[in-house]
Amino acid sequence: MTSSTVSTASIMPAPASGVALALGALYLIWGSTYLAIRFALEGGFPPFLLGGIRFLVAGGLFYGVLRWRGVPAPTRAQWRSLLPMGFFMLLLGNGMVNLAETTVSSGLTAVTLASSALWLAVFAAVRGDRPTRLEWAGLGIGFLGVVWLNVGSSLNGSTVGLIALLVACIGWAYGSIWSRGRDLPAPFMSAAGQMLCGGLLMTGAGLAMGERFAHVPDARAIAAFWYLVVLGSLGGFTAYIWLLNHVRPALAGSYAYVNPAIAVLLGAWLAHERFDGSELVAMGVILLGVVVITFGKALRKMVAGSDAA
């Protein structure tokens, strides 16, 4: 996933069928990437090289198509903004997810990452965007669920997975907030540049840590890799950008609490992942916190809009 911001004023009307199709694609594609990552790792891809090669290929293809269509390349100043975004959101965000999934199930990973919305609110508050009471309530509920999940689930037995997921959440959230107001190219070119920067950083990190391919990845791993490249990095992001231009950001961002449910269901169905009652309740508490925060933000925008009118 990558970060992009589109003004609410630029939203263009779209047919309900198109919105439903784009949302369905976004929910299913991004919700299934966690399982695809697991399959790629199990089949022979090292964690950081998996992400590095994935984003170099996807970013290179996207960049080439955009330049062929006449989209201006990022300026030197814009590359200086894209590089930190690649570091925080891809090297830390996605790279640590890959590392975590070597010891943590794909469904549990997806639900834990839903807490990124909580960290987004925290970093936004640090920058002066104070949460409302409803948003504070969502933060409290969400963090309670995170603590519950970390204490009472298989995460408790995976120190590497626990730390990696915490770093992933913080890195993604901080990078998202840091990117606001920066000098960035158009949304699609911004995504391509971010993937190229993040891919280079992840590949370098993997090689520096001694990651190597012990054997040629098996057929399922290669299929999962190309699924991540074509659908996860290109198809999912295209649907997301289209939605940002045609629906309110709150609806486009609803993937944050739908994707974990999709990931849990797919993990149970295709990878036989199982969760006990305590884990399921903790997951529900986290998602409830995310929903409350999202609703609080939408309500605040509605109130601000009515006051301005």
Cβ partners under 8 Å of residue 118, min gap 6: 138, 139, 142, 143, 146, 169, 289, 290, 293
The structure tokens listed for 18 are 């198109």
Residue 23 inside a domain? The answer is: yes
What is the structure's pLDDT at 207? Answer: 97
Contact present, 198 and 90 (Cβ < 8 Å): yes
Question: What's the mean pLDDT when you consider all of the chain?
Answer: 84
**pLDDT beyond 60 at 1:** no
The structure tokens listed for 258 are 């739908």
Residue numbers of the domain that contains 294? 15-308
Contact present, 52 and 213 (Cβ < 8 Å): no
In angstroms, the Cα distances linking 246 to 21, 210, 268 are 13, 45, 33
The whole model's pTM is what?
Answer: 0.84
In angstroms, the Cα distances linking 50 to 119, 143, 169, 198, 281 are 26, 30, 19, 12, 32
Q: How far apart are CA 113 and CA 123, in angstroms?
A: 16
What is the structure's pLDDT at 46? Answer: 97
Number of separate domains in the chain: 1
**pLDDT beyond 60 at 5:** no
DSSP conformational letter for 287? H
Residue 4 inside a domain? The answer is: no
Q: How far apart are CA 241 and CA 113, in angstroms?
A: 21
The structure tokens listed for 157 are 């037995």
What is the structure's pLDDT at 9? Answer: 46
Residue 1 inside a domain? The answer is: no
In angstroms, the Cα distances linking 213 to 55, 111, 135, 224, 259 are 18, 29, 45, 16, 30
Biggest alpha carbon–alpha carbon distance for the chain: 63
Q: Which among 88-97, 102-111, 249-258 has the top mean pLDDT?
A: 88-97
Residue 54 inside a domain? The answer is: yes
**pLDDT beyond 60 at 2:** no
Residue 31 inside a domain? The answer is: yes
Contact present, 282 and 145 (Cβ < 8 Å): yes
Residue 228 inside a domain? The answer is: yes
- Residue 285: which pLDDT band, with cuts at 50, 70 and 90? confident
Q: Which residue has the higher pLDDT, 2 or 103?
A: 103
Residue 215 inside a domain? The answer is: yes
Contact present, 246 and 19 (Cβ < 8 Å): yes
- Residue 303: which pLDDT band, with cuts at 50, 70 and 90? low
The structure tokens listed for 56 are 């170099």
User: What Rg, from alpha-carbon coordinates, does the chain have?
Assistant: 19
Q: Which residue has the higher pLDDT, 19 or 88?
A: 88
Residue 9 inside a domain? The answer is: no
